[in-house]
Structure formats: structure tokens, C-alpha cells
Amino acid sequence: MAANSLPVTPVPALKDNYVWMFPTGPDRQAAVDPGAAAPVLRVLERTGAGLSHILITHHHHDHIGGVAELVRRTGARVVGAAADSDRLPPLASAVADGQILTLGTVTGRVLTVPGHTMGHVAYLVGDALFCGDTLFSAGCGRLFEGSPEQMWTSLTRLRALPDATRVCCAHEYTLTNLEFVGTLWPDDPDLQALFAAAAARADRDVPTLPTLLGQEKRHNPFLRCDDPALAKRLGQAGQSPTMVFAHLRELRNRH
């Protein structure tokens, strides 16, 4: 971890969600996508910190279920997409693509990443990317609202960030995703090593996240839909990246 790395903590919530927390100043924290309030309140109690901000990536209940209670108990400022404000909790800060956020002592930037939902946004805070249900380790979110083309475009936006970006996904799906990727490349020793490492962590109930974007660029097939080798492996040689992506997402849905 680089010296100027943002300290991030994945707080398990609900079935397999993570609420990511990070400091915004002395005795202040922010929480991303609090699907439940209790796990966040426990962290605040243990650390004696207040909650300065809540960042929301999208409107699904497992990402906003704890917002109302947290606002009531802490007075945190809620940040979310202006474009989705009609289905998000009341926003203190309604944001749009490219907007720079000041969160206490740290700065962030908003990236719109439609696909999983139309209003989905990601937040880049220092070297940490809070990408909700858009990018997972070895996977990506389901297309509930957007088209394959929109999701592929969103994923290429995230892929353009530096390799050292730490990807803070909202779900612990790594093992299932790697299992699926392993069906595409059954003999890849790198993938086998990643799977073994993730399985060892899961056994001890240790989060597999954050993952490094550089690693995802190498091993996450959803970030490689413009790689002819992947297209060929999927029997999609010569197809557009969007078609390859749609095909791959379909295979994953059926896995």
C-alpha cells in the first residue's frame, strides 16, 4: 500500500455486501452504500468517530437501506447522483459526472457508470474506487437497466484509471466470479493461484477486497472484451467488444 493510500475498511453488511468506510478527518468517517445502519454504527461506536458523509452509488435497497437511520443518528451529508434523485434518499449533495467532491480532508471525483442501473455512479477518492455494483473482482454487475453497450462503456471508463487504483466493490462475489472465469481458462495457473488465495480468505472470513485495478485488467474478462484472444475463446472472433461483452454476461448469468 502506497504511503498516500486512502485507508479503507470493508464493513460486512446484509448477506454479502460491504459498506466501505474511510476517514474524512480526525474523528470523522464516510460510509459508502450503507445497506444497513447497525454495522456502521458499531464501527463509529468502537472508533469514537462521527459520520461526516454517506456516498451512494445507486438506488438498490442493499445500498441505501441504512441511510435514513444513519442520517437521523449522525447528521451525515448524503451524496448521490442528481440524475437519480427521485429514487434515492434526500441528497445534501446531488452530483453529476466529473464533479469534484470535498469530503472533509479528502477529495473525490464522480464518474457516471450506467449499466447495472441507469443512474449508477462511482466515486474515486484518492487511490480508492468505490464502484458499487458496476465492477467486481473477476466480474461485473448484472444489467438491470442499461444495455450491454452502456455497461461496456462504463467498464472501459473504469479501466482507464491507473493500475494502482484499489477497487472497492460493494459485494463479496470474488470466489463465484473466479469459479466462472476458471471455466473459460481451466488451465491458467495465475487464475488457479487467484482462486486459491480467494478461497483461503473466504475460509477465514477475510474480505478478498479491495482488489487492484491492474490485476483486474489482466484477469477480469469483463474488462477485456476488446481483446481478440478473449473473443476467440468465446467463439466470438471478429465480433464487436459490445457483442463479446453481451455474450460473456449471458454466460455468467447462466453459470
User: Which C-beta is closer to Zn ion: that of 142 or that of 232?
Assistant: 142
Q: How far apart are CB 62 and Fe ion at their closest, in Å? A: 5
From the CB of residue 160, how many other CB atoms can be counted at a distance below 10 Å? 10
Binding-site member from 13, 24, 29, 62 for Fe ion (CB under 5 A): 62
Judged by CB under 5 A, the chain residues 9 through 48 that form the site for Fe ion are none
Q: Using CB distances below 5 to 8 A depending on partner kind, what does residue 216 bind out of Zn ion, Fe ion, none?
A: none
Contact window for Fe ion (CB under 5 A) among 2-10, 44-52, 62-70, 103-111: 62-70
Q: How far apart are CB 132 and Fe ion at their closest, in Å? A: 7
State how beta strands 100-103 and 106-112 pair: antiparallel
60 binds Zn ion (CB under 5 A): yes
User: Which C-beta is closer to Fe ion: that of 62 or that of 127?
Assistant: 62
User: Which C-beta is closer to Zn ion: that of 121 or that of 244?
Assistant: 121
User: Which C-beta is closer to Zn ion: that of 14 or that of 184?
Assistant: 14
User: Which C-beta is closer to Fe ion: that of 79 or that of 230?
Assistant: 79
Q: How far apart are CB 64 and Fe ion at their closest, in Å? A: 10
Judged by CB under 5 A, the chain residues 84 through 143 that form the site for Zn ion are 133
Q: Which residues bind Zn ion (CB under 5 A)?
A: 60, 133
Q: Which residues bind Fe ion (CB under 5 A)?
A: 62, 133
